[in-house]
């Protein structure tokens, strides 16, 4: 269809009324935009009365993004022709009053849990000696039960090891058999068994020093062993105390007081379709230099046939405008504008139900009390996104100060939102502008064809006796032909 033919066909469709009961239907969004009657198999539902900001037609308008067949695929119970297959709906009403989202009971494997824990298990690691090269981080990353086990074993092993050495020295010097001999000069006094050697090892390393057991000046090896044990004991003290302090003061626990909303919502804000979620801080000590970012986790297949599992792509949360830097004193709603650079540009309410993806949100900042960097994470799966909802306000003014009601933190309310994607909505807006320009161009051409000075003469020669005759179909075709 040539551009001129399409233009005249569009103009003719606008000027000439359609057959009653057969409203206009928009088939095939770009690249082929044209108006045709809706197929008889498509059940229409009334649009919101009085038009609206989404599309100029005030009556009934159905947006069909059908396939190559004449009968569009349809899903669900409402609006489906007999014999159609559910779950393949392609026809949507802009003002449809159906539920704007549906929650799925199907349990899906998460990439990151709601509390921020990764669900990726590492296996078949051959070079485990790499963990020993960074022993400090390895110990700190242990769970508390294993950390306490390592903490105790470090001391117990050294005590037993040096107790064995002390007992061997006492046995080689025959101090064990002369424990009651007052004339005997022992190397280690009052060590006659392994248990007494163990007590001497604990007293020496912990610098208890009861005074009953001691190393004498009669042997050099005893003094050397005592110095070695003292040095090793000091090193263990420094390592274990440092690990314990770092593990207790880790900012990981600070993330437990950072809240994320249970669901994401999609609705219009400032005439743009946005994906939004809410974050908040429960503590009075605020996060310093807080920054927010988000990643989309989704598997895809490349044009060459390569399958990429769990591909990570970051989408904009206000990096260009600085909106990603937060002053997190009160709960804030983070918004992502769905535009041409957004991964949700072509996603509609219907396609959202069929998609499988996960949004990972990462909040980073410096803990005001310790100066350490804290990171809080959460995730939203596709069934946790509510289409056509907004968050309820949770702040109020009370006694000269602002009050935050965290009982309303996760609450949402439904708003009127088109079920089509942002891409389809932009195509509708472009079509509206094109129609307005076509009408303006047409009436300009009509004005140029019939000058105001000669309009009456031309109308008299055309044989029109009454204004009602202008609305006859024959004259309309004549005017259209001009």
Contacts of 21 (CB under 8 A, 6+ apart): none
The number of distinct structural domains making up the chain is: 3
In a domain, 115, yes or no: no
- Indicate whether 212 pLDDT > 70: yes
Structure tokens at 179: 């424990």
- Residue that terminates a domain, selected from 66, 96, 126: 96
Query: What DSSP assignment string belongs to 265-284?
Result: EEEEETTEEEEEEEEEE-SS
- What is the rounded average pLDDT for all residues in the chain? 76
Structure tokens at 371: 């100066």
In a domain, 111, yes or no: no
Neighbours of 316 (CB within 10 A): 16
Distance of CA 451 to the CA centre of its chain: 62
Distance of CA 197 to the CA centre of its chain: 61
Q: What is the 3-state secondary structure (H, E, C) of 454-465?
A: CHHHHHHHCCCC
Is there a single domain that holds both residue 283 and residue 389?
yes
Is there a single domain that holds both residue 267 and residue 410?
yes
The residue with tokens 């009861």 is: 210
Output 182 or 351, whichever has higher pLDDT.
351
**pLDDT winner (highest mean) among 132-136, 324-328, 472-476:** 324-328
Is there a single domain that holds both residue 163 and residue 262?
no
Is there a single domain that holds both residue 312 and residue 359?
yes
In a domain, 225, yes or no: yes
Confidence (pLDDT) at 443: 64
- Residue that terminates a domain, selected from 62, 77, 96: 96
- Indicate whether 35 pLDDT > 70: no
Q: Which of 40-49, 141-150, 388-397 has the lowest mean pLDDT?
A: 40-49
CATH number at residue 345: 2.60.40.1400
How confident is the model over 131-169, as pLDDT tens digits? Answer: 888 888 898 889 999 999 999 999 999 999 999 999 999
CATH number at residue 225: 1.10.287.70
Is there a single domain that holds both residue 265 and residue 412?
yes
Is there a single domain that holds both residue 394 and residue 281?
yes
Residue 446 near residue 478 (C-beta atoms within 8 A): no
Structural domain that includes position 168: 142-248
Is there a single domain that holds both residue 218 and residue 321?
no
The pLDDT > 70 percentage for the chain reads 69
How confident is the model over 282-312, as pLDDT tens digits? Answer: 998 888 899 999 999 999 889 999 999 889 9
Confidence (pLDDT) at 162: 95
In a domain, 444, yes or no: no
> Shortest CA distance to 288 belongs to which of 367, 205, 209, 393?
367
In a domain, 45, yes or no: yes
The residue with tokens 């199907």 is: 106
In a domain, 114, yes or no: no
> Shortest CA distance to 264 belongs to which of 338, 375, 339?
338
Output 11 or 379, whichever has higher pLDDT.
379
Is there a single domain that holds both residue 266 and residue 370?
yes
Compute φ and ψ for 320, nearest 5 degrees: -70, -30
Structure tokens at 41: 């198999």
Is there a single domain that holds both residue 236 and residue 260?
no
| DSSP state letter for 213 | S
Q: What is the mean pLDDT of residues 112-141?
A: 87
Helices and strands in the chain: count of H runs, count of E runs: 10, 20
Is there a single domain that holds both residue 194 and residue 304?
no
Angle between helices 144-172 and 194-205 (to 10 degrees): 120
Burial (CB count within 10 angstroms: exposed 0-12, middle 13-18, buried 19+), residue 241: exposed
**pLDDT winner (highest mean) among 39-43, 104-108, 263-267:** 263-267
- Indicate whether 423 pLDDT > 60: yes
Is there a single domain that holds both residue 293 and residue 328?
yes
Q: Strand pairing partners for 114?
A: none
In a domain, 159, yes or no: yes
- Residue that terminates a domain, selected from 40, 68, 96: 96
* Separation of alpha carbons 101 and 419, rounded Å: 9
Is there a single domain that holds both residue 221 and residue 291?
no
- Indicate whether 398 pLDDT > 80: yes
Q: How far is CA 103 from CA 52, 139, 192, 352, in A?
A: 28, 42, 75, 11
In a domain, 269, yes or no: yes
Confidence (pLDDT) at 362: 95
Q: What is the pTM of this model?
A: 0.61
- Indicate whether 61 pLDDT > 80: no
**pLDDT winner (highest mean) among 12-16, 160-164, 455-459:** 160-164
pLDDT band with cut points at 50, 70 and 90 for residue 43 = very low
Confidence (pLDDT) at 73: 42
Task: Please report the beta strands in 415-461, taking only residues with DSSP state E, as ranges in sequence order.
Answer: none
């Amino acid at each position: 269809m040539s551009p001129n033919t399409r233009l005249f066909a569009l103009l003719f469709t606008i000027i000439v009324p359609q057959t009653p009961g057969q409203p206009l239907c928009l088939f095939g969004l770009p690249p082929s935009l044209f108006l045709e009657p809706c197929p008889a198999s498509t059940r229409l539902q009334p649009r919101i009365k009085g038009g609206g900001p989404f599309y100029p037609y005030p009556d009934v308008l159905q947006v069909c993004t059908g396939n190559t067949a004449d009968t569009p695929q349809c899903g669900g119970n409402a609006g489906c022709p007999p014999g159609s297959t559910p779950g393949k709906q392609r026809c949507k009403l802009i003002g449809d009053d159906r539920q704007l989202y549906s929650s799925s009971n199907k349990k899906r494997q998460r990439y990151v849990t709601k509390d921020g824990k990764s669900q990726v298990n590492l296996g078949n690691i051959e070079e485990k000696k790499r963990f020993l090269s960074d022993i400090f981080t390895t110990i700190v990353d242990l769970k508390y039960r294993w950390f306490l086990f390592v903490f105790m074993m470090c001391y117990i092993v050294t005590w037993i090891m040096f107790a064995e050495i002390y007992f061997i020295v006492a046995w080689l010097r025959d101090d064990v058999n002369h424990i009651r001999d007052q004339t005997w000069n022992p190397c280690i006094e009052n060590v006659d068994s392994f248990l007494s050697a163990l007590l001497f090892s604990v007293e020496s390393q912990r610098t208890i020093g009861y005074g009953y057991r001691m190393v004498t000046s009669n042997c050099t090896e005893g003094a050397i062993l005592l110095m070695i044990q003292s040095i090793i004991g000091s090193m263990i003290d420094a390592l274990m105390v440092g690990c314990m302090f770092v593990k207790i003061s880790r900012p990981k626990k600070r993330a437990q007081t950072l809240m994320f909303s249970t669901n994401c919502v999609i609705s219009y804000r400032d005439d743009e379709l946005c994906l939004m979620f809410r974050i908040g801080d429960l503590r009075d000590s605020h996060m310093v230099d807080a920054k927010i970012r988000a990643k989309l986790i989704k598997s895809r297949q490349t044009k060459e046939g390569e399958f990429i599992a769990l591909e990570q792509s970051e989408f904009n949360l206000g990096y260009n405008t600085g909106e990603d830097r937060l002053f997190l004193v009160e709960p804030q709603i983070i918004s992502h504008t769905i535009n041409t650079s957004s991964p949700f540009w072509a996603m509609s309410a219907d396609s959202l139900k069929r998609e499988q993806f996960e949004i990972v949100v990462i909040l980073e900042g410096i803990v005001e009390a310790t100066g350490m960097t804290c990171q809080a994470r959460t995730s939203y799966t596709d069934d946790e996104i509510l289409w056509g909802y907004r968050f309820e306000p949770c702040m109020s003014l009370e006694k000269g100060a602002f009050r935050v009601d965290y009982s309303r933190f996760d609450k949402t309310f439904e708003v009127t939102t088109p079920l089509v994607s942002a891409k389809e909505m932009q195509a509708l807006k472009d079509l509206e502008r094109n129609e307005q320009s076509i009408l303006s161009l047409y009436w300009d051409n009509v004005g140029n064809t019939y000058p105001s000075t000669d309009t009456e003469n031309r109308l008299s020669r055309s044989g029109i006796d009454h204004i009602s005759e202008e609305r006859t179909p024959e004259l309309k075709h004549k005017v259209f032909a001009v």
